[in-house]
Chains A and B, each alone.
Chain A
Amino acid sequence: MDKKRILLVDDDLAFTRMMKLNLERSGTYEIRIENTGSQAVASAREFKPNLILLDVIMPEVDGGDVAAMLKDDPLLKDIPVVFLTALVSGEENASGGLIRSGYRFIGKLTSEKEMLQCIEEHLR
């Protein structure tokens, strides 16, 4: 069984490394890290992820922009995107997840269990 590919787009290097360690430890996911918003689309084309975890707030090209660009790309527009945000509180996560403008938002400080559950829900 092939590992599911997840593209993690976030400008925070420490966070992305720590995220990658945790998610790859189970052996079910292959994680690609992209720390620059503007490179996110190119990485996605190359990596062909099954899911993109996208940080909202990044310098210059932010998560919203990346999402819009992905939507405009015929090859990438169907790849599910889950926004990672520091601003969504735990309570919002607990109530079934915050959905805004059609996107699922998940807090960065969400527990591993909930995070994995959310990823599984959105993987194709």
Chain B
Amino acid sequence: MSNMKPINILQIEDNPSEVVLMRAMLTEAGAGQFELVSVDRLSEGLRRLAAGNVDLVMLDLGLPDSNGLETFAKVHTQAPQLPIIVLSSLDDESIAMKTVHEGAQDYVVKGENMDARLLVRTIHYAIERNRAEHALAEQHKLLRTLIDNLPDLIYAKDPQGRLFLNNAAHMRFLGATKAEDALGKTVYDCFPKEIADAFFADEQRVIHSGEPLVNREEASIDRTGRRIWVLTTKVPLRDATGKSLGMVGITRDITARKEAEQRQTMHSGVTRVLAESDTLQEAIPRVMQCVCEAMGWDCGQLWRVNLQTSRLHCENVYYLPAQDLAGLDKASHEATFARGAGLLGRVWTDGRAALVSDVVAEADSPWMSAVAKAGLRQGVAFPVGNYRETLGVMVFFSCTVGTMDESLLAIMQDIGRQIDQFIQRKNAEEALEGERTLLRSLIDSLPIHIYVKDTASRFIVVNEEVARFFKVKHPREVAGKTDSDFFPPDLAAQFLAEEQAVLLSGESIVNREACVTGEQGKRRWILTIKVPFRDNHGSIVGLVGATRDITEIKEAEERLREANADLEKSKSELQQSNDQLKAAQLLLFEAEKLHAVGRLAAGVAHEVKNPLATILMGINYLSKSIQSKDENVAIVMEEMTHAIKRADTIIAGLLEFSTPSKMDTKADDINTIVTRSLGLVKHELDKHHIAVERKLGEHLPAVLVDRNKIEEVFVNVFTNAVHAMATGGALTVRTYAKTMDATRIQRDAGNRSGVRLRTGDAVVVIEVDDTGHGIPEDKLLRVFDPFYTTKPTGIGTGLGLTVVRKILELHSGTIELANRPEGGVRATIVLKADRR
């Protein structure tokens, strides 16, 4: 031990013999082990202590300047860390024992069996014990400082659940300032019974089972009744023998974290609910449920601004199932709030969320009183809307008191905005959906093939028309397919080539007409538009096409062209009819003129020629009767005869001009003429499906006629018959010869030609029968009048029969029309047979 530092001992002793004895014993124990300094006064001792370099104090309590316990107290106070051995005499051992209690390491009774070895051991023990004690004290202080500075509640309880140790945080939690206020208390002294029961059960379970309870989150309330969240660990406490000493608990207040989590849960829950809901009606109850469940609140209500009343009306309510809030429900549905009135009115006006920290204290309306009466204690109200407009106010209440702070208000305000955005979004979606539906139904109802294709010409989207055309049930079935799935290979290849050209060049095909061979080889005309389809960056990602079947339009155009052609034809026919009419008119005029002049000439010839004949006869008679010597008489007679001849020549010239000699008459066969005439109207007969029956008599006498004119007569008569049978019928032509009887002869008193049908004349009769609609009896007499017609305008000129009759008159023939008893009309034409 020689290498060890010597132990510096301060001996405070006023008895010099004791000092000597001490020095001797220490020297005996080992030179150099101890350095002893002795002082005989306390004051001197304290001074030495203050100077330091003292490892141990040996103190006599009875000193000249101090005595008893006071001496120890002064030294201990001066050097509390130093080990002190009290030197006591026999008579004050009890005091010495007290100093040990006060902090002295040991006491030695002077003169009592003290030897050097014992003293040295005592000194060493004192120093070691003192060091250990101080180390322990330091450690304890450290631990204490540690647990007192922890925010967690730390508490130890005995097997009966009584608190026997806790830290500062737990003291604060209990609201205790002194240890006595806290120690010995149980959970029943700190919590309402329901919570206390649960906690006590936990403690007892841990104590008796020895199983720790680690990190359990549990709801609790603080001493103000505010709800808190804690994380608790409870560990059994046992002594070395395994005997239960109780338990130690560590409880951390995680209310802030928990509330942050709750708010987070609520916020994201509301966001999710709004994202999942289709309608406001569906969303609102779910939002309120989500908020109540996440926050542990009991009641939610939505008050909407009613545009008619300009007041807030309660529209939706949500109550936690456990709550009986019938009274509040009634009050809520009876109440309305104007702008600025009460909590809700203020929130409406301000557009800012507001807290109700104490429902009872803030009850400013019957409604709020009902809220208080329902046991609700706290609430938060916030506007549903945006900075422009508040659509309503949402309010939540809770039976328990939780943290309601600015951050909660901010969150609720945001929820209000989210609901508003939801409403706006749904409105927009509804409008968009409406537009989409409209657009889709428009596209689907268009009689046009509309399709979108990708760059490989695969269909992406098509409309109903395309689906119908491809004979698939739904347009979806066309997606992913190509034209080659539906069209013949060559046609599909043609489409693909033109689409690739569009995709490569970016140039559209617009309104291109093409003819394709469709089903059953039918040719179809299609009108095509193909436009490149670009993404937001302008790259071509496909094409949009519209194809329209314009076959019917084309056919209609064709029909229109035909109709136009028909119209042109009709026009030219009309022109022709008009020309014919003019020609007929001219002919009639000519015929009339000829007729009039003929009658005039005949009349004049007759009336003038008779007197001339008489004069000629007279001259003839006189020239033979008068035998005169005068030569002049014969000359006069001769001159007169010449004059009469000259007048006759003039009259003959007039007759030449006016008689039917203008006609190119010759003997002809009537059957040949009839057959030729039928040939001329064959087209008309066929067109109207008219059957022709020829009953032509054999060996008929010839007729002296101008063939062209008589053919004109027949064509006219046949055409009239055709017009009477526009929808078909039968035309019968009959020819026969007969002799005129008296009853059938028409007289023309003004006729001086002397050429007319007479009784006994041999004639050829031509009867033309139709099966048409006949002619009204009252019209029969008028049909030969110029310009009279029973036909619609444009069909007949009204001159046909007039001309016919004139022509026949020129041939001394006749025509009669009569309705046949069996229906239809019979035209009877009579021509004189040629007797020459």
Contacts and interface: CB of A to CB of B under 8 A. Distances in A.
A117 B754 CA distance: 25
Given A15-B614, A62-B754, A64-B754, A109 B620 contact: no
A111 to B, nearest CB: 8
B752 A57 contact: yes
A85 B649 CA distance: 15
B613 A89 contact: no
Given A86-B609, A90-B649, A90-B652, A65 B617 contact: no
Given A68-B760, A71-B760, A102-B835, A21 B621 contact: yes
A19 interface: yes
Contact of B644 (A64, A91, A99, A109): A109
B621 A25 contact: yes
Interface in B719-764: 752-754, 756, 758-761
B437 interface: no
A87 interface: yes
B655 interface: yes
B613 A109 contact: yes
Contact of A109 (B602, B609, B624, B760): B609
- Of residues B614, B655, B756, B759, which shows the largest number of chain A Cβ atoms within 10 Å of its Cβ? B614
Contacts of B151: none
A57 B599 CA distance: 13
Interface string A41-75: 00000000000000011000011110010011000
B436 interface: no
A5 interface: no
B752 A90 contact: no
Given A68-B758, A87-B605, A87-B754, A21 B614 contact: no
A116 to B, nearest CB: 11
B602 A65 contact: no
A39 interface: no
- Of residues A18, A56, A62, which shows the largest number of chain B Cβ atoms within 10 Å of its Cβ? A18
B606 A18 contact: no
A12 interface: yes
Contacts of A22: 617, 620-621
A63 B606 CA distance: 14
Contacts of B620: 22, 112
B758 A25 contact: no
Contacts of B617: 15, 18-19, 21-22
Given A22-B620, A101-B835, A86 B613 contact: yes
A86 B606 contact: yes
Contact of B613 (A56, A57, A71, A108): A108
B783 interface: no
Contacts of A91: 652
A89 B614 contact: no
A49 to B, nearest CB: 19
A56 B608 CA distance: 15
Contacts of B759: 65, 68
B75 to A, nearest CB: 200
Interface string A79-94: 0000001110111000
Nearest to B757: A64
B611 interface: yes
Given A56-B754, A89-B648, A101-B835, A108 B609 contact: yes
Contacts of B644: 109
B614 A14 contact: yes
B614 A18 contact: yes
A89 B655 CA distance: 9
- Of residues B610, B644, B655, B756, which shows the largest number of chain A Cβ atoms within 10 Å of its Cβ? B610
A90 B644 CA distance: 12
Task: For the complex of A and B, list the 3 residue pairs with the smallest distance between their C-beta atoms, beginning with the closest.
Answer: A86-B609, A18-B617, A89-B652
A86 B760 CA distance: 24
B602 A87 contact: yes
A65 B758 contact: yes
A37 B253 CA distance: 161
B488 interface: no
Interface in B582-624: 602, 605-606, 608-614, 616-618, 620-621, 624
A53 to B, nearest CB: 12
A86 B605 CA distance: 6
B98 interface: no
A22 B681 CA distance: 61
29 contacts: A14-B611, A15-B611, A15-B613, A18-B614, A18-B617, A22-B617, A25-B624, A56-B754, A64-B756, A65-B758, A65-B759, A85-B754, A86-B605, A86-B606, A86-B608, A86-B609, A87-B655, A87-B754, A89-B649, A89-B655, A89-B656, A100-B835, A101-B835, A107-B609, A108-B609, A108-B610, A108-B612, A109-B612, A109-B613
Contacts of A15: 610-611, 613-614, 617
A56 B613 CA distance: 15
Interface of A: 12, 14-15, 18-19, 21-22, 25, 56-57, 62-65, 68, 71-72, 85-87, 89-91, 99-102, 107-109, 112
B645 A90 contact: yes
Contacts, number: 84
Contacts of B608: 86
A118 B299 CA distance: 151
A118 to B, nearest CB: 14
B28 to A, nearest CB: 214
A23 to B, nearest CB: 9
Contact of B618 (A18, A68, A85, A87): A18
Contacts of B754: 56-57, 62-64, 85, 87
Nearest to B756: A64
Nearest to A21: B621
A85 B605 CA distance: 10
A19 B760 CA distance: 31
Interface string B10-53: 00000000000000000000000000000000000000000000
Nearest to B648: A109
A15 B612 CA distance: 9
A101 B644 CA distance: 29
Contacts of B836: 99-100
Contacts of A109: 609, 612-613, 616, 644-645, 648
Contacts of A99: 836
Contacts of A112: 620
- Of residues A25, A86, A100, which shows the largest number of chain B Cβ atoms within 10 Å of its Cβ? A86
Contacts of A56: 754
A37 to B, nearest CB: 13
Contacts of A12: 610, 613-614
Contacts of A62: 754
A15 B611 CA distance: 7
A57 B207 CA distance: 170
Contacts of B753: 87
A100 B704 CA distance: 12
Nearest to A12: B610
- Of residues B652, B753, B836, which shows the largest number of chain A Cβ atoms within 10 Å of its Cβ? B652
A68 B618 CA distance: 31
A28 to B, nearest CB: 15
Nearest to A20: B617
Contacts of B611: 14-15
Nearest to A109: B648
Contacts of A63: 754
Given A57-B752, A65-B759, 14 more contacts: A15-B613, A15-B614, A15-B617, A18-B614, A22-B620, A65-B758, A72-B760, A86-B610, A87-B655, A87-B753, A89-B648, A89-B649, A90-B649, A108-B612
Nearest to A72: B760
A10 to B, nearest CB: 8
Contacts of A89: 648-649, 652, 655-656
Contacts of A25: 621, 624
Nearest to A19: B617
B419 to A, nearest CB: 123
A87 B606 contact: yes
A36 to B, nearest CB: 16
Interface string B407-423: 00000000000000000
